[in-house]
Amino acid sequence: IMFSLAPLVGAGWATAIVIGVALILSVGGLSSATKDKWQTFRLFAMPFCVSSFSSLIKGKGFVLVFPPSLKELAIAVALCLAFAALVFVLRKVHGQQAPQPSIEKTVSDKPENASPLKR
């Protein structure tokens, strides 16, 4: 097995706490943390996962985040493609499309074209 749980205890938790608190403060302070529990969880979990993963693969021959073994890389790519195919099929079955960003603006959105106030 490639991974051990030893790095999870140290650097991962410390990094998650420091960066998580900074992220909480950047998105609205402690009041926002008590309102949205899911956002709070994500803001602490993301730095934990990133720092833990980097600690786990250190010295194991990884190039960036790609495994050194071609077999492991092929399995990872195949799983990503399978997930994308599953999402595609589910959207076709349920008739949902990915949200499209709207770039249209109306004339009234522009301040120079706004009508003056009537007196």
Q: What pTM was estimated for this model as a whole?
A: 0.45
pLDDT bucket at 98, cuts 50 / 70 / 90: low
Q: How many angstroms separate the CA atoms of 87 and 91, rounded? A: 6
pLDDT bucket at 102, cuts 50 / 70 / 90: low
Q: What is the mean pLDDT of the chain?
A: 74
| Average pLDDT of span 3-23 | 69
pLDDT of amino acid 69:
84
pLDDT of amino acid 119:
46
pLDDT of amino acid 68:
78
Residue 79 has pLDDT above 50, yes or no: yes
How many C-beta atoms surround the C-beta of residue 11 within 10 A? 14
Each residue of 30-43: pLDDT tens digit?
777 677 788 888 88
